[in-house]
Structure 1
Amino acid sequence: MGYLGEGFRLIRQPGLRLFVVLPLILNIIVFGVLIWLLGEGYAVMVDAAMGWLPDWEWLQVLDWVFWILYGLVILLLLAYGFVMLANLIGSPFYGYLSELVEKDIAGETLTPDDGWLQIVKDIPRALYREVRKIVYYLPRALVLFVLGLIPVVNLVAAVLWFLFNSWMMVLQYVDYPADNHRVSFDGLRKRVATQRLTALGFGMPVAVLAMVPLVNLVLVPAAVCGATVYWTREMRDADQRGAA
């Protein structure tokens, strides 16, 4: 769990801050536009629904009810959708952020200004890795969703859902340093599987904080930094020790 705390410390460093702020601004803009578009479409539907109802004064309170429900939906989107969208949009930045963190751990000089061309060149590969993770996630999430609809079984499914999301948080963020070292996604899964308890110790707090609106705005870059420290100390160094 300390790796995530270390990630929050690292994102405050001047040499890394730029690659934390830029994807954050992009994500806020995109998410703000999506919320505005949803609001405009929802307003049309609310007006249409209210137009079908009798013009009784007490029914007008439904207008407020509809917009309260909309607010709850937006909170859920912020809790669940923002992190997924942030990972997709910011993936080229986060790959380079992970590389800078590795340099910082090694005591090397950070030169973030040299990385813009690399970020642009890495966009196709970064997006492919994100799609690969989504393809891995969706069928398993669907199985757990179906199990969650079955009485009694859904009690176990709730625990499995949390554990699976925690597992996905590990794969999601440790994938950035793994990709920098040209480790395939399948290869990453095998490596992480050898350290399941340590991995889940990192993934669980990330999964919990991902559901907290506003906190999840800064969670993604902090998780990238923390996962890079985790990769360096738990996996890369273990590989080097094994080679020695």
Structure 2
Amino acid sequence: MGQTRSTWDEFFAGFRLLGRGFARYGRSPGLLLLGMIPAVISLVLLGVAWFFLILFIDDLAAAVTWFADDWSSTWRGVVRFGAGAGILAVGVLLSIVSYTALTLLIGDPFYEVISERIEADLGGTPGETDLPWYRTFFKNLADSIRLILLGVAFAVPLFLLGFVPVVGQTVVPVLNAIIGGWLIAVELTGIPFNRRGLRLKDRRQLLRAHRPLALGFGIPVFLLLLIPLAAIVVVPAAVAGSTLLTRRVLGLSTEEQRHAPDTVVP
């Protein structure tokens, strides 16, 4: 019972960190515009991709269910409906993970400023490597590609589950949110982790040790990104929240006017 309560406490703590990220981002008018620029660019690109996906969804569903061409119209319709639902579920997961990765890559210098200002307010960044963004761009790109490929690996079984009646329309969306929330938490914490010279492997290890906290942060971000146009504000605010999340998992203060310790707790 105590362990369950602790897990939920951690989950809601992650949710609160996201709320504080929104509050910090919203209090800085200069950061508002700064953070929106890359988010808008990525949103336009994603919107074009979704336009064509929806336009050709029937053709795609028919293509992946070629074996049902000779079935009765009823069963063929059921199978292709499940295929369409599976394709859309996969599309949601991959598009949100890809959108987050693309936005962070385009806006790396913008979001670095947001993250740095938050850490400066909290006492600085212990262990900071102080490398310019262009020195770490290709490493960040490689990390983002790995996370997208991981999303693809999860998307395959989710697509297959989409064929199962009821399960495809109930369980799959829940799994989508959990998996997507985890991947987004790992992706968003890249900026404050990279500033300390910590790579993707380090992020995943530390966040796994605080999984409820990471999911409490990442799942709401995933769900908010489902709202049309919300991503323009959500991503930069989530970058602010991810900086607080990073400090939390590293054992550093996330409170106003408190100075961070001299060393990072691994």
Give the TM-score normalised by structure 2: 0.62
Q: Which amino acid aligns with 2:205?
A: K
Q: Return closer, same or farther for 1:161/1:29 CA change in 2, 3 Å cut-off.
A: closer
The alignment status of 1:103 with 2:120, answered yes or no, reads yes
**Distance in 2 (alpha carbons) for counterparts of 1:78 and 1:20:** 23
Residues 1:185 and 2:166 are matched in the alignment: no
Q: Number of aligned pairs? A: 205
Structure 1's 166 and 78: CA in aligned 2 closer, same or farther, altered over 3 A?
A: closer
The answer to whether 1:200 aligns with 2:215 is yes
Q: Distance in 2 between matches of 1:169 and 1:180?
A: 18
- SS of match in other structure, 1:211: coil
Which segments of 5 or more consecutive residues in structure 1 lack a partner in the other structure? 43-76, 109-114
Residues 121-151 of structure 1: CA deviation (Å, up to 9, x unaligned): 3332222221121122110121222123224
Letter in structure 1 aligned against 2:156: L
Provide the TM-score with structure 1 as the length reference.
0.66
Q: SS of the residue aligned with 1:237?
A: coil
Distance in 2 between residues matched to 1:2 and 1:81, nearest whole Å: 25
Aligned match of 1:126: 140
2:158 alignment partner in structure 1: 144
Gaps of 5+ in 2: 1-14, 57-90, 254-259
Using the alignment, how far apart are the partners of 2:195 and 2:124 within structure 1?
18
- Encode CA deviations 1:141-193: one digit per residue, 9 max, x unaligned: 21222123224653444432221122122112122212222222122112111
Equivalence for 1:46: none
CA distance in 2, matches of 1:167, 1:30: 23
Whole-angstrom CA distance in 2 between matches of 1:25 and 1:80: 18
Higher helix share: 1
Larger Rg: 1
What CA distance in whole angstroms lies between the structure 2 residues aligned with 1:143 and 1:17?
A: 38
Mapped to 2, the partners of 1:119 and 1:229 lie a distance apart of 20
8 Å Cα contact 2:94-2:148 kept in structure 1: no
Cα deviation 1:26-84 (Å, max 9, x = unaligned): 3356457x47x96xx99xxxxxxxxxxxxxxxxxxxxxxxxxxxxxxxxxx89974663
Shift >4 Å, 4+ stretches: 28-32, 77-80, 238-244
Identical aligned residues as a percent: 28
Deviations 1:88-144 (A, max 9, x none): 143223344323322233279xxxxxx9x9233333222222112112211012122
User: RMSD of aligned C-alpha atoms?
Assistant: 4.0
CA distance in structure 1 between the aligned counterparts of 2:46 and 2:37, rounded to whole angstroms: 14
